[in-house]
Amino acid sequence: MSQADTMALEIIPLGGLGEIGMNLMVYGYGGQWLVVDCGLAFPNPDTPGVDLIIPDTQFLQDNRDRIVGFVMTHGHEDHIGALAYIWPNLGGPVYGTAMTLGLLKAKFREHNLQHKVQWVQVNYRQALQLGPFSIRFLQMTHSIVDSAALAITTPLGTILHTGDFKIDHTPVGGRTTDLHSLANLGEQGVLALLSDSTNINRPGVTTSEQEISAVFDRIFPTAKGLLLVATFSSNIERIQQIIRAAMAVGRKVVLNGRSMLANVAVARALGYLTVPSDALVELREMGRYSRQELLIISTGSQGEPNSSLVRIAAGDHREIVVQEGDMVVLSSKFIPGNERTIWTLINQLVRDGVEVIHEKNVPEIHVSGHAPREDLKLMLALTRPQFFVPIHGEMHHLRNHCQLAVQMGVLPGNSVVLEDGDRAVLTRESLQVVGTVPHGRVFVDGKGVGDVGDIVLRDRLHLAEDGLVVVVLVVEKGTHNILQRPELLTRGVVYEDGSQDLLDEAKDAVERALALGPKALDFADEEGAGPREVAQRALRRFFKKRLGRRPAVIPLVMEM
């Protein structure tokens, strides 16, 4: 029996399974660990005040000496955005294609870490040996250039990790999915396929990016005033299409948004974006041209708070003003969860007389970067894996993709749904979950990483839902007898100027409670209940009874 027959490959997702974002997969063989991607997620209404969400990497920190490297499939935030935050606690070389590393270096530069990392640029189909893992990057079409699937070969067999992909036979930059290599892998034998599940519920095949050029060519000539196109700053080929269409109608191009400027600079330096120097106009030089001569490419297509486009719509942008007769094109998808903010943005623009083009009124204005159902079938047909694990998606995506794999010939017991934190063991005969490892979410808030937890978020939600009451007590030192009537300050509970009678009743309730003492308020430990605790409980009961609300109550006690 060979050594490979006695060993197993471990597959441990620390993010990205059962959710959108925070993609982080760990492969283990022979006591060594390979990390694939390290992405972030953006906050939602349940995480007020949080800037970013990154995976909990305690498991990797416990095994940092066994990490052979970090391999990035592509440069989207949900695949690389967390690496600059976790790398200082782990260390290790970082591998990726040119564009991916270019975007990563810019992020590490913001953290003053760019010169501390060993960066290794990898070419497609180039063999890369990291410990027991032999890795080849395979070219994939996605909504960002330089995307790759990973063929990871160990003595046990070959694992194919697709990353994000679609199959577009006529992409804008000519970089098609490497179907030849995928088919060769299928001929040689794929032990396990881990495949993008995002668009499993969308029927059909991928619409080519080339079709969007025709839409731009049809729409842009109809714009009478300023023309603004919002798209994802990472979609370099879409930006190229916009620039070409702008030049065709004689408009100069203005780039707006920090990430737009940064990503375009990286793409131009690497040769992935061709822009004649006389086609671009600096934001500060817009005043030299009429509105009909300009096209702005901007970030903010998802209506993100404080984004450039939101500030433009609100009239808060210093250089850009939209007005009646202008046109705004949202060349992007309504990402689930962002619909409300996007419609708010659209309504604001329409109210000002701006014509807004988006995927709901012109569906062809955006093409997804993820493979729909027929493309996912093709991936399974080409690679013919023995085992299948769906990745990158919420639970309904993963389960539907598992069912598709069975329809395509994978044995039912070999098509397995994993969740974040699962420790799965793959042999030549089976794939089983044998336990879990530490996992979860870490919140980034300002300069703090991990100092905001569930308790802090609960308090923030509490304040947002029920408001705050501050009660100021002046008591006699030693006796704790109250010396003057309590003062109340509220925020988000009632309008104080119109609720003086209610606040006077609240003060009365505090005074009665202090006179009766802790026994009247059912304190289990009456000895430990001073004026602070008594006033707090009295006000909580008062506002719950009178208003049906539970505001946070902060007592301030001044001894005199």
Q: Which part of the chain is CATH 3.60.15.10?
A: 7-204+368-451
For the segment(s) 210-365, the CATH number from 3.40.50.2020, 2.60.40.1120, 3.40.50.10710, 3.40.50.300 is 3.40.50.10710
Q: Length of the chain, please? A: 560
Report the range of poorest mean pLDDT among 155-159, 326-330, 377-381, 484-488.
Answer: 484-488
Max CA distance (Å), the chain: 88
Cβ neighbourhood burial of 410 (10 Å; 0-12, 13-18, 19+): buried
Report the range of poorest mean pLDDT among 4-8, 56-60, 118-122, 424-428.
Answer: 4-8
Helix (H, G, I), strand (E, B) or coil at 332: coil
Nearest to 367 by CA among 202, 559, 525: 202
What are the contacts of 483-486 at 24+ separation with CB within 8 A? 483/560, 485/511, 486/510, 486/511, 486/535
- pTM beyond 0.85: no
User: Which residue type is seen at 84?
Assistant: A
Query: What mean pLDDT comes out for the span 194-214?
Result: 94
d(CA 420, CA 441): 10
User: Which residue type is seen at 251?
Assistant: R
For the segment(s) 467-559, the CATH number from 3.40.190.10, 2.60.120.260, 3.30.465.10, 3.10.20.580 is 3.10.20.580
Beta partners for 256?
A: 298
Residue 48's CB is within 10 A of a number of other CB atoms, namely: 15
pLDDT value at 305 more than 90: no
| Per-residue pLDDT tens digits for 259-296 | 999 999 999 999 999 998 889 999 999 999 999 999 99
Under CATH, which number does the domain 7-204+368-451 receive?
3.60.15.10
Is the four-CA dihedral 297, 301, 304, 310 of positive or negative sign? positive
Helix (H, G, I), strand (E, B) or coil at 246: helix
pLDDT value at 28 more than 70: yes
pLDDT value at 524 more than 60: no
Beta partners for 196?
A: 391
Question: Token pair for residue 555?
Answer: 């007592």
Question: Token pair for residue 165?
Answer: 């992909």
* Beta-carbon contacts of residue 216 (< 8 Å; ≥ 6 apart): 241, 242, 245
Confidence at residue 550, expressed as pLDDT on a 0 to 100 scale: 82
d(CA 61, CA 91): 10
Q: Which part of the chain is CATH 3.10.20.580?
A: 467-559
Average pLDDT taken over every residue of the chain: 89
Which helix or strand (DSSP H or E) is residue 405 part of? helix 395-407
Q: Which part of the chain is CATH 3.40.50.10710?
A: 210-365
pLDDT category at 5 given cuts 50, 70, 90 is very low
pLDDT value at 6 more than 60: no
User: Which residue type is seen at 129?
Assistant: Q
pLDDT value at 378 more than 70: yes
Query: What mean pLDDT comes out for the span 46-65?
Result: 84
Confidence at residue 22, expressed as pLDDT on a 0 to 100 scale: 93
| Per-residue pLDDT tens digits for 396-443 | 999 999 999 999 999 999 999 999 999 999 999 999 999 999 998 887
Confidence at residue 449, expressed as pLDDT on a 0 to 100 scale: 65
